[in-house]
Amino acid sequence: MEKTVSEAIAYRRSVRVYKNDSIDTEKVKQCLVNASLAPTSSNLQLWEFIHITNEKLIKKLSKACFDQNAARTAKQLVVVVARKDLWSKRAKANIDFVNTQFSDVDINSKMERRKKMALNYYGKIIPFTYFDFFGIFGWIKYFIFQIVGLFRPIYRQVRNSDMRIVAHKSAGLAAQNFMNSMAAIGYDTCPMEGSDTLRVKRILDLPYGAEINMIISCGIRDDSGVYGKRFRIPFEEIYTKKD
């Protein structure tokens, strides 16, 4: 029986050792479909998910992950890739979607304004925000926006490094969707940041602009796979309520 959201979150642990039991590839794929439904900045979906089921490829990637137990004993791997470099392609996909949704010639004035706003956003604002030239244009935008920000609220994260963070945040949200979905069906995962990302990109033949967000090992937990009880900082230390 599939777990509730709260049950799945409580069940999910970073599992370092997996049993030698196989897991259903199609079920893992469905969890990746759930990952793709995660919230994403400007709906650009600057992510890719590479689902590894080939044993030889898993061994190669395990070495790139320093042969840590979570990778070495994994039955499958998922590589979450941040693709800031695809912003133009994904913006165009949104423009195409908007044109499809508002294709009826009889749309009212309110919908016409909404369509115009969306097309302006993806056709002008997104290119202005994401376009850069060796980081130079990003810094020019940054200084201009800081000056404007002295007089009114304005979006300030416009440098190349800022947009990379945006892409990785969205990829991280998707990764969490995936891991909670896996937990809901009784499968286990471990998000791994410890890897030689350059080697991982070479193994997977990824382009220069692609960035490894994390590698997630998948399987069914061994009794020794969870290293101790869960520890969290007391909630009162991290929670603030402003009345």
Does the pLDDT value for residue 237 go beyond 90?
yes
Give the integer Cα–Cα distance in Å for 172 and 212: 11
Structural domain contains residue 137: no
| 171/109: higher pLDDT | 171
Give the integer Cα–Cα distance in Å for 205 and 163: 23
CA dihedral 185, 188, 190, 191 (to 10 degrees): -10
If you search the block for the tokens 């030689």, which residue do you land on?
196
The pLDDT value given to residue 106: 67
Is the distance from CB of 219 to CB of 188 less than 8 angstroms? yes
Domain of residue 44, CATH code: 3.40.109.10
Structural domain contains residue 79: yes
- pLDDT above 70 covers a percentage of the chain that reads 99
Structural domain contains residue 36: yes
Give the mean pLDDT of 143-155: 93
Q: Sorting pLDDT into bands at 50, 70 and 90, what band is 1? A: confident
Indicate the number of domains in the chain: 1
Structural domain contains residue 143: no
Structural domain contains residue 155: no
- 60-73 pLDDT, tens digit each: 999 999 999 999 99
Q: Which neighbouring-strand residues pair with 219?
A: 188
Give the integer Cα–Cα distance in Å for 43 and 182: 24
Domain that holds residue 16: 8-86+171-226
Q: Sorting pLDDT into bands at 50, 70 and 90, what band is 19? A: very high
Structural domain contains residue 106: no
Does the pLDDT value for residue 104 go beyond 80?
no
Structural domain contains residue 222: yes
Structural domain contains residue 190: yes
